[in-house]
Homo-oligomer: A and B are copies of this chain.
Amino acid sequence: MLNSSEVLRGYMDTIILAQLKEGDSYGYSIGKNIHDLTDGMIEMKEATLYTTFRKLESSGMIESYWGDGNSGARRRYYHLTEEGKQLLEENQKDWKRYSKMICSMLGV
């Protein structure tokens, strides 16, 4: 069983995984995307973003490669691995269960 703090905390990485499910992308774009899709409500700071990439890559959830650097600043693209997909699905399930539970605890 997960404990509640692991559920309440650290959903930033799951949001990243969900973004990468739509296709390979790079840090800056993912950050902007999250910001824009939520009308600025969820803002992932760069430090958090890149720290999380490191963590996800070292645990095998994502892989990275450098994009063609012939135009604009260089971009490091990320790709969701099979393991990452599985983690995403688990986290989605957990989120459903736990967020429902919290709703009921908050009377919401």
**A interface SS class:** helix
Residues A105 and B38 in contact, CB atoms below 8 Å apart: yes
* Copies of the polypeptide in the assembly: 2
What is the bound-complex CA distance between A90 and B41, given in angstroms?
A: 16
Residues A4 and B41 in contact, CB atoms below 8 Å apart: yes
What is the bound-complex CA distance between A92 and B105, given in angstroms?
A: 10
Chain A contact residues, CB within 8 Å of chain B: 1, 3-5, 8-12, 14-15, 18-19, 21, 34, 37-38, 40-45, 48, 91-92, 95-99, 101-108
Ranked nearest first, the 3 interchain pairs of A and B with the lowest CB-CB distance are A4-B42, A9-B9, A15-B105
23 A-B residue contacts at CB 8 Å?
Answer: A4-B42, A4-B43, A4-B44, A8-B9, A8-B12, A14-B106, A15-B106, A18-B105, A34-B105, A37-B105, A38-B101, A38-B105, A41-B97, A41-B98, A42-B98, A42-B101, A42-B102, A91-B106, A92-B106, A92-B107, A95-B102, A96-B108, A99-B99
